[in-house]
């Protein structure tokens, strides 16, 4: 019996590109086309020194090797004819399975669309109650109260029942003043958005003033694979638009895993009423005076500002520089290449965040809006979030053990303040 494999023993890990890690007791060991790796010679050592002294040559070789990543190792080409035919047969079988997978995904999308049509009347009813167009029925209120009490213990249930009786008595006394009270649920969508962590991180104090006019958030499926988010606003002093939209498009072909692959997003133009009301920019003004004429003039400087409303101006995926020759690429300085890599990494991060926000609004916020408003959805259904919280607690325990000599006042420092 062979010795058990130890965790972390990289010598026993399989090699990449489908190359078997060992050829012992295998028919592959009889194939003469496979060469054994020799020992490092003095010539190899000299070559290594030359490359070390010539960074440009080393960089060019590394770039060439980098372009080979992900290519076939040639292992299959060295197989016997009969074995190679079996591999081809498996590829044909897998191709049929992938066609079924593509059909499944398309039918699943159609099923989602058909059920979404059933959701729409419920979403419309929800919007009417939020905006004070209508009131919930007695049966809806009763059912909602029952759901609220479902997970509570007996003591809390009795307390809520007593509060309910008191509220009913107060409502009877104040029926005459009902018309003067606010209709609907003020700041419903603003509160829901602020409770969705990934979105709340993008909301500033200036954004809150605008989002108070947000009446509804809904979505619709596009004719091509994708979806559109629709934000409806009441008349406000900030912009002319009554509706802001953002569409997410998927590629026509499915990805390797059989799922739809995100391609790009398209926002809309926000017609701000003035620069002062545009929360996506900062306006700086300063006066200048000419020495000769003593005349003054005002210089205006506009700088981009962090804002939730940048969501409607999504980052653009990079275009391939087809016209750029290889010689021109080689002539680029290393500093320029590093800057390009940093810019590409930053763009990729912004594209990923933009897509994540759209998906969370579509899949989490819109279907469970009332739970995000009340806060019931916070921390639920997020496995990564829970694991992160647990790891933080473990780290805190370890720090407590290591920091026995730290002053208690230092430990009681308040955490970083987060936006509400």
β-strands 226-233, 243-250 pairing: antiparallel
Q: What is the Cα Rg of the chain in Å?
A: 31
For 122-272, strand residue ranges (E) read 214-221, 226-233, 243-250, 262-266
Contacts of 210 (CB under 8 A, 6+ apart): 236, 238, 239, 279, 309
What is the pLDDT of the chain when averaged over all its residues? Answer: 74
Query: Per-residue confidence at 151, pLDDT binned at 50, 70, 90?
Result: low
Is the pLDDT assigned to residue 410 strictly greater than 90? Answer: no
Measured CA to CA, the distance from residue 98 to residue 258 in angstroms comes to 7
Is the pLDDT assigned to residue 402 strictly greater than 60? Answer: no
β-strands 214-221, 226-233 pairing: antiparallel
Tell me which residue of 108, 354, 388 sits closest to 248, measured CA to CA: 354
Query: Per-residue confidence at 32, pLDDT binned at 50, 70, 90?
Result: very low
Measured CA to CA, the distance from residue 275 to residue 17 in angstroms comes to 57
Is the pLDDT assigned to residue 373 strictly greater than 70? Answer: yes
The least confident of 62-66, 216-220, 276-280, 373-377 is: 62-66
pLDDT of residue 287: 76
Instruction: Flag whether 244 is in a domain.
Output: yes
Instruction: Flag whether 207 is in a domain.
Output: yes
Measured CA to CA, the distance from residue 299 to residue 394 in angstroms comes to 54
pLDDT digits (tens, 9 = 90+) for 68-107: 555 566 788 888 999 989 999 999 999 899 889 888 988 9
Is the pLDDT assigned to residue 47 strictly greater than 80? Answer: no
What is the tally of structural domains in the chain?
Answer: 1
Instruction: Flag whether 178 is in a domain.
Output: no
Measured CA to CA, the distance from residue 210 to residue 190 in angstroms comes to 9
CATH number reported for the structural domain that contains residue 192 in this entry: 3.30.1120.90
Instruction: Flag whether 103 is in a domain.
Output: no
Total-model pTM = 0.66
Query: Per-residue confidence at 378, pLDDT binned at 50, 70, 90?
Result: confident
pLDDT of residue 221: 94
The least confident of 21-30, 231-240, 402-411 is: 21-30
Instruction: Flag whether 120 is in a domain.
Output: no
Query: Could you give phi then psi for residue 335, rounded to 5 degrees?
Result: -65, -40
Instruction: Flag whether 360 is in a domain.
Output: yes
Instruction: Flag whether 243 is in a domain.
Output: yes
Dmax (CA) of the chain: 100
Measured CA to CA, the distance from residue 366 to residue 122 in angstroms comes to 12
Measured CA to CA, the distance from residue 205 to residue 307 in angstroms comes to 9
pLDDT of residue 219: 95
Measured CA to CA, the distance from residue 246 to residue 60 in angstroms comes to 43
pLDDT of residue 22: 38
Is the pLDDT assigned to residue 412 strictly greater than 70? Answer: no
β-strands 226-233, 296-304 pairing: unpaired
Q: In Å, how far are 158, 235, 312, 396, 400 from 403, measured between CA atoms?
A: 46, 56, 47, 10, 5
pLDDT of residue 77: 83
Q: Is the backbone of residue 187 left (phi > 0), alpha (psi -120 to 50) or beta?
A: left
- Residue 221's Cβ-side half-sphere holds a number of Cα atoms within 13 Å equal to 15
pLDDT of residue 188: 96
How many Cβ atoms are within 10 Å of 239's Cβ, its own excluded? 20
Q: What angle do CA 261, 371, 212 make, to 5 degrees?
A: 90
Is the pLDDT assigned to residue 33 strictly greater than 50? Answer: no
Query: Per-residue confidence at 149, pLDDT binned at 50, 70, 90?
Result: confident
Contacts of 8 (CB under 8 A, 6+ apart): none
pLDDT of residue 50: 66
Asked whether 204 and 307 are in contact (CB, 8 A), the reply is: yes
* Alpha helices for 221-333 (secondary structure H): 326-331
Q: Which residue has the higher pLDDT, 159 or 410?
A: 159
Contacts of 343 (CB under 8 A, 6+ apart): none
Of the chain, the end-to-end C-alpha distance in Å amounts to 62
Residue 314 has which token pair?
């999504």
pLDDT of residue 177: 53
Is the pLDDT assigned to residue 297 strictly greater than 90? Answer: no
Is the pLDDT assigned to residue 178 strictly greater than 90? Answer: no
Alpha-carbon torsion (270, 275, 279, 283), positive or negative: positive
Residues 323-340, mean pLDDT to the nearest whole number: 57
Instruction: Flag whether 323 is in a domain.
Output: no
Residue 279's domain spans which residues?
Answer: 186-317+341-378
pLDDT digits (tens, 9 = 90+) for 213-238: 999 999 999 988 899 999 999 999 99
DSSP state of 363: I
Task: Provide DSSP, 1-39.
Answer: -PPPPPTT-GGGSPPSTT--S--TTSGGGG-TTPPPP--
């Amino acid at each position: 019996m062979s010795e058990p494999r130890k965790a972390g023993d990289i010598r026993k890990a399989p090699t990449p590109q489908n190359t078997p890690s060992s050829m012992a007791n295998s028919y592959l060991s009889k194939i003469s086309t496979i060469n054994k790796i020799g020992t490092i010679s003095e010539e190899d050592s000299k070559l290594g020194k030359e490359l070390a002294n010539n960074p440009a040559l080393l960089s060019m070789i590394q770039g060439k090797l980098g372009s080979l990543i992900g290519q076939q190792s040639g292992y299959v080409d060295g197989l016997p004819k009969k074995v190679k035919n079996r591999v081809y047969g498996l590829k044909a079988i897998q191709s049929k399975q992938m066609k079924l997978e593509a059909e499944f995904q398309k039918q699943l999308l159609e099923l989602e669309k058909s059920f979404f049509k059933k959701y729409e009347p419920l979403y419309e009813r929800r919007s009417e109650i939020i905006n004070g167009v209508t009131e919930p029925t007695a049966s809806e209120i009763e059912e909602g109260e029952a759901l609220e009490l479902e997970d509570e213990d007996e003591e809390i249930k009795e307390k809520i029942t007593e509060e309910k009786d008191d509220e009913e008595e107060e409502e009877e006394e104040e029926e005459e003043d009902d018309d003067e009270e606010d209709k609907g649920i003020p700041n419903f969508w603003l509160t829901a958005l602020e409770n969705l962590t990934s979105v709340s991180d993008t909301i500033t104090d200036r954004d809150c003033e605008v989002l108070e006019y947000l009446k509804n958030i809904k979505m619709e499926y596009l004719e091509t694979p994708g979806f559109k988010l629709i934000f409806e606003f009441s008349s406000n002093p900030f912009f002319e638009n009554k509706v802001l939209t953002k569409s997410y498009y998927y590629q026509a072909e499915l990805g390797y895993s059989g799922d739809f692959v995100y391609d790009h997003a398209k926002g809309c133009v926000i017609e701000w009423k003035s620069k002062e009301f545009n929360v996506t920019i900062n306006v700086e003004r300063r006066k200048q005076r000419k020495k000769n004429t003593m005349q003054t003039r005002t210089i205006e400087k506009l700088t981009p500002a962090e804002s939730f409303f940048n969501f409607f101006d999504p980052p653009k995926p990079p275009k391939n520089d087809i016209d750029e020759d290889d010689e021109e690429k080689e002539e680029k300085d290393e500093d320029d290449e590093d800057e390009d890599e940093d810019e590409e990494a930053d763009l990729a991060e912004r594209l990923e965040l933009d897509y994540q926000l759209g998906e969370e609004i579509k899949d989490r916020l819109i279907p469970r809006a009332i739970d995000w408003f009340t806060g019931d959805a916070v921390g639920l259904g997020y496995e990564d979030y829970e694991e992160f919280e647990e790891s933080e607690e473990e780290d805190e325990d370890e720090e407590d053990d290591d920091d026995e000599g730290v002053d208690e006042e230092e430990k009681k420092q308040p955490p970083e303040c987060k936006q509400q």
